[in-house]
Amino acid sequence: MASIAWETEYRAALSTANAKNQPILLDFFNPG
């Protein structure tokens, strides 16, 4: 089953989003 390819570094996600011209889903979660 496919799963979401979460990025864990915001800066890296921003760079990818810029390169692909795609919006970002930023999830602040509680790791417990």
CB of 11 to another protein, least distance (A): 10
Residues 1-32 that bind another protein (CB under 8 A): 1-10, 12-14, 16-18, 20-31
Question: From CA 12, how far away is CA 18, in angstroms rounded?
Answer: 10
Q: Of 29, 16, 18, 31, which is closest to residue 5 (Cα–Cα)? A: 16
CB of 3 to another protein, least distance (A): 6
Question: From CA 32, how far away is CA 19, in angstroms rounded?
Answer: 33
Q: Residue numbers of the site for another protein (CB under 8 A)?
A: 1-10, 12-14, 16-18, 20-31
